Amino acid sequence: MSYLSKRPSKVGAIGLVGSLCALAEPALAADELNSGDTAWMLTSSLLVLMMTIPGIALFYGGMVRKKNVLATLMQSFAVCCMATIIWMVIGYSLAFSGDGPFVGDLGQLFLKGMGVGSMSGTIPESVFMMFQMTFAIITPALITGAVAERIKFSSLMVFLGLWQIIVYAPVCHWVWGSGGFLGNAGVMDFAGGTVVHINSGVAALVLCMVLGKRIGYGRENLAPHNLVLTVIGASLLWVGWFGFNAGSELAADGRAGMAMAVTQIAAAAAALAWMAAEWMMRGKPSVLGIASGAVAGLVAITPAAGFVLPGGALVLGLIAGIGCFLAVMWLKLKLGYDDALDVFGIHGVGGIIGALLTGVFAAEAVGGTPGMLEGNAAQIVPQLYGVGVTIAYSGIVTFVLVKIVGAFMGLRVKEDDEREGLDVTLHGESVA
């Protein structure tokens, strides 16, 4: 579901491609700016940015060993900076300029033509661009968790820069850009189940499988060094997620309010479901488990937030909590890959669960499109289509990019450097 089609009554002139992206066109009249919508979107942009720095940085940083915590924080911070510039130079143009089915055009390189008076519906285009930039920042940042403690920083940065341009921007256009073929096919993705979570989760899986396991995986103690940091990070993610989901309405209205409510419900349900499953299977509920469950619920509700009612969110959260728990505790062991911080198990699997269940629980009263429970079983088809296309494209292109970067730069640090820790060997620093 594209941003253009979500709010036909509010969008007006941005019902066409040009009002979102074509900067050559005159700005909308000043009296069409809605200060309430604008204030909410400014706030939402800050909330989503907080999800990466400090949210992801602390969430991931607490789960690695002490000798790698600074390197992990560095990855999130550096990716934030790099993704910002890429989005400004070319990413925004590829994602939201033009009306092609597969990718935008280059009409807005370096944000060409964007001025104070440029409008995107009821908010300044600069605000819309910034809001979308925060999505472009967090998506590659999520990938870093899968290859923590063993990847070369230089290779990671080059890979993620290419990935943002070649993978993220096109998928974003497919779903949310005007003319995007997935949006036109009826795929419902309110806030990024496919664009952000399946996309990053699949890329993370491919990257960690090509890179190989950490030294000592399955034999040595690789336990988190500071779960306090992880819980703080998870809490920042939870709070920031309201900007992620409710902000995707692009307005301060009733649908944004419902998106906020169902986000909270799904997160809480998934956290409790993961806790209960772990308690039954392992005998004790863990702090890492309940924090991971909350994130799994937040991931799963992301595509559904603007389409479901509270009851649907409750069931969706429960399913996501158990499903992601099994992916982390059973599937990873079964397939034998070392996804260090469970990016695929939480974001990939959670995104898939959420995208598919959106087609089940969608309520016409919320988003205008009924789901299977309201008699529209056919909505499952575009959801399956969106999931399948995203998995295939992200997986194949990620593999090619990883192989290219690996051939020219190498991917993995030396064995001695990995044993000593990346803080010292890559950055010349350490935690006291």
Burial of 101 from C-beta contacts in 10 A (0-12 / 13-18 / 19+): middle
Query: What integer is the mean pLDDT of 227-248?
Result: 98
Q: What is the pLDDT of residues 335-386, one digit of tens each?
A: 999 999 999 999 999 999 999 999 999 999 999 999 999 999 999 999 999 9
Tokens of 223: 């336990």
Tokens of 103: 């990718």
Q: What is the DSSP string of 314-355?
A: HHHHHHHHHHHHHIIIIIHHHHT---TT-HIIIIIHHHHHHH
Q: What is the pLDDT of residues 263-292, one digit of tens each?
A: 999 999 999 999 999 999 999 999 999 999
Whole domain around residue 155: which residue ranges? 18-427
Number of domains, the chain: 1
Alpha helices for 364-430 (secondary structure H): 364-367, 380-409, 415-420, 422-427
Instruction: Kindly report the CATH number assigned to the domain that includes residue 139.
Output: 1.10.3430.10
**Residues with Cβ < 8 Å from 281, sequence gap 6 or more?**
329
Across the chain, mean pLDDT equals 93
In this prediction, what percent of the chain has a pLDDT beyond 90? 92
In this prediction, what percent of the chain has a pLDDT beyond 70? 93
Query: What integer is the mean pLDDT of 33-56?
Result: 98
Residue 104's pLDDT band (cuts 50, 70, 90)? very high
Is the distance from CB of 372 to CB of 198 less than 8 angstroms? no
Tokens of 195: 């664009």
Give the C-alpha separation, 290 to 301, whole Å: 17
Q: Give the CA distances from residue 300 to residues 10, 27, 207, 264, 380, in Å, rounded to whole numbers and listed in that order.
A: 27, 37, 22, 12, 16
In a domain, 432, yes or no: no
Alpha helices for 97-246 (secondary structure H): 125-143, 153-163, 169-176, 181-184, 199-211, 227-246
In a domain, 9, yes or no: no
In a domain, 4, yes or no: no
- Is residue 187 predicted with pLDDT exceeding 90? yes
In a domain, 380, yes or no: yes
In a domain, 133, yes or no: yes
Is the distance from CB of 421 to CB of 220 less than 8 angstroms? no
Tokens of 304: 């559904």
Q: What is the pLDDT of residues 307-328, one digit of tens each?
A: 999 999 999 999 999 999 999 9
In a domain, 374, yes or no: yes
Tokens of 348: 């990939």
Q: Give residue 20's pLDDT.
A: 35
Is the distance from CB of 182 to CB of 175 less than 8 angstroms? yes
Q: Which among 85, 143, 147 is positioned nearest to 111, based on CA atoms?
A: 85
Q: Give residue 3's pLDDT.
A: 56
In a domain, 288, yes or no: yes
> How does DSSP classify residue 228?
H
CA quadruple 237, 240, 244, 249: dihedral sign: positive
Q: What is the pLDDT of residues 22-31, one digit of tens each?
A: 333 333 344 4
